[in-house]
């Protein structure tokens, strides 16, 4: 459709009936009456949900329910507030859905401020509280909406769903409503997420487009906050929004949250903070929510808390920071398409000029009609043509006399008289004829000619007039819509693990419990609640778990020590060790396998893992003799004394063993029985026997 014809009052073409099902090629999987029924109905449903429910149009930026609500309100508008329930009833004449959906759409539009002014309890966008029932609240169109959305003379209408009323195909909106309001919608196979933008910045961007200057617009949210839009990518990316967290003079050990990210309520934010407090990642004693007209959440801190570190933790672990994605999918010429912010604004500018042109052309036609009408009236009165009908008896004769009277002035009128012209002249009252003022008539004619000249000048320079028009709208309404969301060049990246690296301390108790929540016990090592820990027992069993509150290990802690009393190598002594899981970190393990009495060594990495699943590092029945992180420089071994045995001690180089997976078998280290083993040169090492290097057998 040509843009000049978008808003012409032309009836919509009648929909063409679909081709008979029997004449269409049907896939094999859809043959049969049920397949055809499902295929047809699903396509109709998908088309309806995309074009008539979920997606806004690029032309006026509205979904069908919003357009119908605004049209119904404009029809009944008298400048006063009306019950929302009444507005819902009026809108139901156009919208083929339930009253609840219409009421919700009215509340949403009212909370966005631009188009509908509410009176009463319309809910709270900060707390998420619902609006009151429609019978208790009132609304009316804003002045901005009445001036910028409606122009029936250039609007195309079609019958409503029941054929009883006429509804607009599109509203001739002179505002970029899609980007002003922000839209979310989900249809069959399509979704849209258009973020709201600032009113002033959008109109300034349109002016820049008309003047062929560069521009950039960024989202602006009613909930305020601080925004990093470095990844916005003209509406194809995302933004990150943070709540404002501030300190106040005289308020010791307290922080105050004074805004929330878009889409997050204060209740949801408080719940996310409480959840993290329970995991002991936030040193906060309690939360008080005093939100009413403005966001006010008070956090009472544990004395001595580092507020800067806590602020970072709130952004890292709670809803104080949120990433919001943008994907602009709209109906452009009744077809769904994905656009950028720039493309949508350029489309809005084209449509603004098309609407202004259509309105000017309508007004020119009206001025032409007024000029002709006033010329006819002047000639009728000044030339006393009305005198010619004083003696005439029939209507046909009256018309003939008037046409005869105007015949000498055909060049002045410019066309023949019509029956409507004659009817208009005959309705002129006698008082008006007797009080006719030729000077006033000339002034009115000159004013109309001047107006027509100005319109033709504006039509000749439509872009220049559009700039002037937008600047006028900015002057009148711009002060009412300041930017609410602060823009920052970028957020400093927060290392979540650095914030929580030492927040927990794993402890071991005498009754064989391990955890960060045990009251007393031996401190093993600090860790983060974000870490995954490995636990390894001396019989080779191991598993990966989050830091436990309290876990029964039924074994003795044996980190960085020889895992056994080497005098009892075959006993299944239940030592255990634990550490922080790193996928590619190298470990060294020496184990004794009793089937043939051999000792093996392997270097390995954990690789991938499944939480809480039990694995085996060594063959069943074997016993871990040594386990350590990394690759030691040497392993010192003393063998069990045997008759005629000449070599009683050896040193091995673990580097000779290649790194394998945790499930792989180790390589043979020695067939002799080991009495003692150590990573460092021990006291029992006999230097007099010399340094005998052991060989590994792949």
Residues acting as catalytic residues? 136
CB atoms within 10 A of CB 97: 15
Measured at the CA of 341, the angle between CA 127 and CA 107, to 5 degrees, comes to 30
C-alpha 605: how far from its chain's center?
A: 41
CB of 537 within 8 A of CB of 576? yes
H/E stretch holding 488 reads: strand 486-488
Residue 54 DSSP symbol: I
Among candidate residues 586, 582, 591, the one with its CA nearest the CA of residue 659? 586
212: left (phi over 0), alpha (psi -120 to 50) or beta: left
**Residue of 16, 97, 87 whose CA lies nearest to 49:** 97
| DSSP helix, strand, coil percent of the chain (3-state; round to 5) | 35, 20, 40
Q: Which residues contact 691 (CB under 8 A, 6 or more apart)?
A: 651
**3-class DSSP state of 552:** strand
380/386 Cα distance (integer angstroms): 6
Residues 644 and 588 sit within 8 Å (Cβ to Cβ): no
CB burial of residue 84 (10 Å; 0-12, 13-18, 19+): buried
Cα-based torsion angle of the residue sequence 91, 97, 98, 100 in order, rounded to the nearest 10 degrees? -70
Eight-class DSSP state of 693: B
Q: Is 690 left (phi over 0), alpha (psi -120 to 50) or beta?
A: left
Q: CB 508: neighbour CB atoms within 10 A?
A: 21
The three-class DSSP label of residue 94 is: coil
User: Cβ of 8: how many Cβ atoms within 10 Å?
Assistant: 14
Element (H, E) at 338: strand 335-339
Give me the phi and psi of 628, to 5 degrees please: -155, 160
Pairing of strands 556-557, 575-580: parallel
> Is 319:268 a contact under the CB 8 Å cutoff?
yes
Query: Cβ distance 93 to 111 under 8 Å?
Result: no
Chain length of the chain: 698
Structure tokens at 225: 């906050």
DSSP 395-409: HHHHHHHHHHHHGGG
Cβ atoms 151, 140 nearer than 8 A: no
* Of residues 623, 608, 625, 602, the one with CA closest to residue 541: 623
The label of the residue with tokens 């899609």 reads 178
Cα–Cα dist 486/200, whole Å: 15
330: phi then psi, degrees, rounded to nearest 5:
-135, 170
Apex CA 73: angle with CA 69 and CA 78, to 5°? 175
Is residue 253 within 8 Å of 314, Cβ to Cβ? no
Q: Are 93 and 65 in contact (CB under 8 A)?
A: no
């Amino acid at each position: 459709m040509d843009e000049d014809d978008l808003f012409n009052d032309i009836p919509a073409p009648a929909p063409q009936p679909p081709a008979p099902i029997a004449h269409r090629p049907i896939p094999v999987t859809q043959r049969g009456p049920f397949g055809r029924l499902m295929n047809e109905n699903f396509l109709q449903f998908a088309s309806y949900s995309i074009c008539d429910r979920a997606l806004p149009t690029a032309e006026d930026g509205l979904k069908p329910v919003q357009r119908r609500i605004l049209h119904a309100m404009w029809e009944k508008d008298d400048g006063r507030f009306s019950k929302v329930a009444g507005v819902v009833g009026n809108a139901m004449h156009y919208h083929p859905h339930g009253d609840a959906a219409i009421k919700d759409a009215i509340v949403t539009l009212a909370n966005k401020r631009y188009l509908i002014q509410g009176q009463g309890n319309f809910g709270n966008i900060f707390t998420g509280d619902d609006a009151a029932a429609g019978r208790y609240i009132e609304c009316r169109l804003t002045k901005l909406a009445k001036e910028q959305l409606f122009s029936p003379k250039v609007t195309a209408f079609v019958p409503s769903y029941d054929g009883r009323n006429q509804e607009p195909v599109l509203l001739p909106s002179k505002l970029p409503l899609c980007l002003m309001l922000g839209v979310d919608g989900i249809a069959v196979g399509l979704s849209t997420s258009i973020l709201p933008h600032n009113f002033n910045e959008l109109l300034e961007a349109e002016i820049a487009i008309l003047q062929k200057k560069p521009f950039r617009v960024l989202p602006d949210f009613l909930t305020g906050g601080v925004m990093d839009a470095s990844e916005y990518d003209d509406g194809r990316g995302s933004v990150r929004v943070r709540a404002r967290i501030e300190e106040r003079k005289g308020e010791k050990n307290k922080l105050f949250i004074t805004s929330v990210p878009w889409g997050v309520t204060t209740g949801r934010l408080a719940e996310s903070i409480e959840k993290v407090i329970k995991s002991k990642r936030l040193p906060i004693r309690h939360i008080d929510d005093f939100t009413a007209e403005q966001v006010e959440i008070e956090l009472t801190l544990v004395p001595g808390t580092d507020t800067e570190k806590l602020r970072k933790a709130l952004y890292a672990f709670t809803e104080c920071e949120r990433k919001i994605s943008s994907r602009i999918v709209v109906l452009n010429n009744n077809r769904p398409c994905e656009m950028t912010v720039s493309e949508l604004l350029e489309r809005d500018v084209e449509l603004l000029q098309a609407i202004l042109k259509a309105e000017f052309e309508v007004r020119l036609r009206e001025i032409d009609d007024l000029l002709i009408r006033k010329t006819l009236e002047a000639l009728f009165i000044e030339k006393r043509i009305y005198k010619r009908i004083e003696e005439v008896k029939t209507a046909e004769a009256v018309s003939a006399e008037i046409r005869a009277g105007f015949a000498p002035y055909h060049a002045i009128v410019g066309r023949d008289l019509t029956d409507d012209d004659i009817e208009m002249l005959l309705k002129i009252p006698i008082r008006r004829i007797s009080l006719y003022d030729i000077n006033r008539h000339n002034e009115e004619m000159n004013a109309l000619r001047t107006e027509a000249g100005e319109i033709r000048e504006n039509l000749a320079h439509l872009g220049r007039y559009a700039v002037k028009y937008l600047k006028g709208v900015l002057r009148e309404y711009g002060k009412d819509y300041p930017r609410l969301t602060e823009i920052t060049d970028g957020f400093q990246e927060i290392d979540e693990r650095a914030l929580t690296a030492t927040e927990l301390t794993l402890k071991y108790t005498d009754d064989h419990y391990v955890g960060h929540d045990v009251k007393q016990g031996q401190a093993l090592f600090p860790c983060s609640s974000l870490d995954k820990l490995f636990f390894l027992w001396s019989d080779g069993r191991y598993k990966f778990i989050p830091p436990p509150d309290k876990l029964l290990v039924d074994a003795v802690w044996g980190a960085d020590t020889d895992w056994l009393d080497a005098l009892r190598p075959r006993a299944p002594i239940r030592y255990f060790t634990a550490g922080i899981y790193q996928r590619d970190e190298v470990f060294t393990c020496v184990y004794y396998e009793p089937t043939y009495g051999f000792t093996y060594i392997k270097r390995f990495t954990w690789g991938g893992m499944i939480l809480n699943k039990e694995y085996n590092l060594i063959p069943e029945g074997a016993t871990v003799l040594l386990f350590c992180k990394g690759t030691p420089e040497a392993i010192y071994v003393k063998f069990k004394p045997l008759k005629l045995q000449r070599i009683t001690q050896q040193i091995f180089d673990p580097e000779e063993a290649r790194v394998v997976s945790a499930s792989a078998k180790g390589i043979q280290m020695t067939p002799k029985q080991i009495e003692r083993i150590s990573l460092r040169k021990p006291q029992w090492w006999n230097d007099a026997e010399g340094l005998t290097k052991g060989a590994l057998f792949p």
